[in-house]
Amino acid sequence: MREVIHQAALKLFLRHGYDNATVDDISREAGISRRTFFHMFPSKEDVILAHFDGVGAQMVHLLATRPKAESLLVSLRQAFKPWLDLHTGDVELARNRIRLILETPALRARHLRLLDSWVFLLAEQCAQKLGLPTADGLPRLTAWVAIATLDVALHEWSHQQDDALLPHVDATFAILGDVLQAKPARPK
């Protein structure tokens, strides 16, 4: 039922715009009552962003289980598999969902808050992998840079016609790897 509601909402958002499609419109399109809508989703934003539920915890788990000898950059890239999996399968649906998130201020703001929550979770694992205290700025910065790398790849992919997101992610991580090779000195 959640997927039916999601599909109906996405269809209406793309056709009429996010702000012009109401919960009543979505409920009617999905063939459900308004009450059922709110039983499934707390808000219109959640209809689109619910696909990301649990992804942060999955990424943290994967990061925690990566080999200790592996570079943090490689570990982070591998830990993002659950996030990448959300954008495979029905590529046009995934691309439309991402375009909607990127182009709708309310959804973009909510998505950025979600990414921030992932950064917090990932930073703890980055700190452990780097052998630093969680309060050190480097683990949080590392997690943010990795999340920003994914965001850049999403932006690029959402405006391309190719189906594969993975090459965009790999290319942005390769650029990040080049930047990190410069190894700027940390202030003391």
What are the tens digits of pLDDT across the range 131-155?
Answer: 999 889 999 999 999 999 988 888 8
Specify the pLDDT at position 82: 82
Going 21 to 25 to 31 to 33, the CA torsion angle's sign is positive
Tell me the C-alpha distance between 146 and 83, whole Å. Answer: 12
Specify the pLDDT at position 174: 86
Counts of helices then strands in the chain (DSSP H, E): 11, 0
**pTM, entire model:** 0.80
Is the pLDDT at 29 greater than 90? The verdict is yes
What's at 106, amino acid-wise?
A
41 pLDDT band, cuts 50/70/90, is: very high
Q: Mean pLDDT throughout 82-92?
A: 78
Is the pLDDT at 25 greater than 90? The verdict is yes
| Segments of the chain assigned E as strands | none
**Residue 77, number of CB atoms within 10 A of its CB:** 23
Tell me the C-alpha distance between 6 and 59, whole Å. Answer: 23
